[in-house]
Amino acid sequence: MTTDTMTRKGEKKIGPLTREDLFSLEEYAAERPEFRKKIIAHKKNRIVPIGPNATIHFEDSLTMQYQIQEMLRIERIFEPEGIQEELDVYNPLIPTGSNLKATFMFEWDDPEERLKWLKKLVGAEEKIWVQVEGFDKVHAIANEDLERSTGDKTSSVHFLRFELTPEMKEALKKGAALKVGVEHPEYDYAVEVPENVRASLLEDLD
């Protein structure tokens, strides 16, 4: 494994990953320590707390490559069909150039407390938003892969897509601030996205 190969396979891209973007099991065994360090540092620029009990993790090709590589490693998957199945699961969480994609989590350590709040927060996934300075809020399109909530409680984890207009993207590239929030009656918080995260999210846009 050369450094050039590591660089090509470990670089961020816009749009879906292919088998050619992934390390083989043998390659990943050799590259995993450095790749994990890279991903840990990268994720620090992709996470935003929203209030005391919620966090949004903005995803991209690098965070999803790490998820895929770890699944292939744990399950010892090397057949093309198995690799493609993992790509099909995780590729929908990679931004395509016109959107931001994220994993959103409600977090309470105590299971009973968590259940109590998840019952209060029915429909909260539809109330999560991002807002580019000078524009209207963009509410999340939630859980497109499968329904994670029931009629009497929401899930603690949601997968989100925020579609941005060309004008919003251009404003962000010119330095406009970005906010993210939840506007549910039981959980109403908003925060400005820190500059390090905003800069990282710019790389998700074409």
Would you say residue 7 has pLDDT above 50?
no
**Residue 93 predicted with pLDDT over 80:** yes
Contact 169, 99 (CB under 8 A): no
Higher pLDDT, 6 or 67: 67
Tokens coding 78: 């090397």
What residues have CB less than 8 Å from 187, skipping those under 6 apart?
51, 53, 54, 117, 120, 121, 124
For residue 69, the one-letter residue type is Q
**pLDDT band at residue 204 under the 50/70/90 scheme:** very high
* H or E stretch covering 163: strand 157-163
Tokens of 11: 């670089």
- pLDDT band for position 151 (50/70/90)? confident
Instruction: Name 126's Cβ contacts closer than 8 Å, sequence gap at least 6.
Output: 139, 140, 142
What are the boundaries of each domain within the chain? 3-43+61-93, 113-202
Q: Quick one: pLDDT at residue 128?
A: 98
Q: How far apart are CA 61 and CA 31, in angstroms?
A: 17
pLDDT given at position 196: 97
- Taken in order 78, 84, 85, 86, is the CA torsion positive or negative? positive
In this structure, of 27-31, 71-75, 150-154, 162-166, the range with the lowest mean pLDDT score is: 150-154
Phi-psi sector, 51: left (phi>0), alpha (psi -120 to 50), beta: left
Q: What pLDDT, on a 0 to 100 scale, did the predictor assign at position 10?
A: 82
pTM of the model: 0.91
